[in-house]
Amino acid sequence: MSWWEASEEILRGVSRAINAIDPGQVETLLDTLLYTKMGGKKALILGAGRSGLVGRAFAMRLMHVGIDVYVMGETITPAIGEGDIVIIISGSGSGAMSTTAAHMAKRLGSLIFAVTSYPDSELAARAHAQIRIALSPLFSMQKSSLHPGGRIEIRTISRSVINYSYTMGKAISAHLCVKGATPKTRQG
């Protein structure tokens, strides 16, 4: 597969993933983020592995539109509390870190959003709301997709959740701007 074919495959995967997301779930998140910003509350993003990378990119987008946002595990992350929003990104929705964080956040009175592929997962059950990212056969990493020597072929990498989650973060930050969250300006 050439780099051009891989790029086209990535774009098709992004398009399929975005089209499969329930717009009502995204609107609920957008409204909650605006409530968070206007109420002077914090947003905390967390995820492990690739989900954590996506979370960091998403947090940066939220910061650009003026939301007081933090990433779990950073040294400057303050404690969360009542009315803060915790966005937990977990493909499986069953990781120990994600489910434990959801449990603790709920006990503290924070609003929990799950971004997961499994709407019946433990994380989704603990969340106040969720955005379901549909799985597709494209995302399975079967043994047949490995090259000799164990290297994963570019098609498998291009099908990673990172590709469409980053795009989703950009789209959400654009919608927040439209809904009234203005981007931060630099002091020159």
**Domain ranges, ordered by start, for the chain:** 3-175
Higher pLDDT, 19 or 149: 19
Give the span between the Cα atoms of 87 and 90, in whole angstroms. Answer: 10
Q: What is the pLDDT of residue 13?
A: 77
Tell me if residue 5 is catalytic.
Answer: no
Whether residue 142 is predicted with pLDDT greater than 50 in this model: the reply is no
Average pLDDT over every residue of 147-166: 43
Confidence of residue 65 (pLDDT cuts 50, 70, 90): confident
Q: What is the pLDDT of residue 144?
A: 39
Give the span between the Cα atoms of 116 and 123, in whole angstroms. Answer: 8
Average pLDDT, the chain: 78
Q: What is the pLDDT of residue 46?
A: 94
Higher pLDDT, 170 or 100: 100
CATH topology of domain 3-175: Rossmann fold (3.40.50)
Task: For Cα atoms 77, 102, 88, give the angle at the middle one, nearest 5 degrees.
Answer: 65
Whether residue 1 is predicted with pLDDT greater than 80 in this model: the reply is no
Exactly one of 5, 8, 27, 153 is catalytic; name it. Answer: 153
Average pLDDT over every residue of 153-177: 52
Residue with tokens 């995302």: 139
Local structure of residue 185 (DSSP, 8 states)? -
Confidence of residue 63 (pLDDT cuts 50, 70, 90): very high
Confidence of residue 148 (pLDDT cuts 50, 70, 90): very low
Give the span between the Cα atoms of 6 and 83, in whole angstroms. Answer: 43
Higher pLDDT, 182 or 117: 117
Q: What is the pLDDT of residue 177?
A: 64
DSSP for 69-118 reads EEETT-TTPPPP-TT-EEEEE-SSS--HHHHHHHHHHHHTT-EEEEEES-
Q: What is the pLDDT of residue 16?
A: 81
Give the span between the Cα atoms of 123 and 115, in whole angstroms. Answer: 9
Higher pLDDT, 93 or 147: 93
Question: Taking the alpha carbons of 124, 46, 80, 181 in that order, is the dihedral positive or negative?
Answer: negative
Strand order across the beta sheet in which 129-132 lies: 69-71, 43-47, 85-89, 111-116, 129-132
Q: What is the pLDDT of residue 171?
A: 62
* Ramachandran area for residue 136 (φ above 0: left; ψ -120 to 50: alpha; else beta): beta
Q: What is the pLDDT of residue 124?
A: 95
Question: Taking the alpha carbons of 11, 167, 22, 173 in that order, is the dihedral positive or negative?
Answer: negative
Lowest mean pLDDT among 65-69, 104-108, 172-176, 180-184: 180-184
Give the span between the Cα atoms of 20 and 134, in whole angstroms. Answer: 6
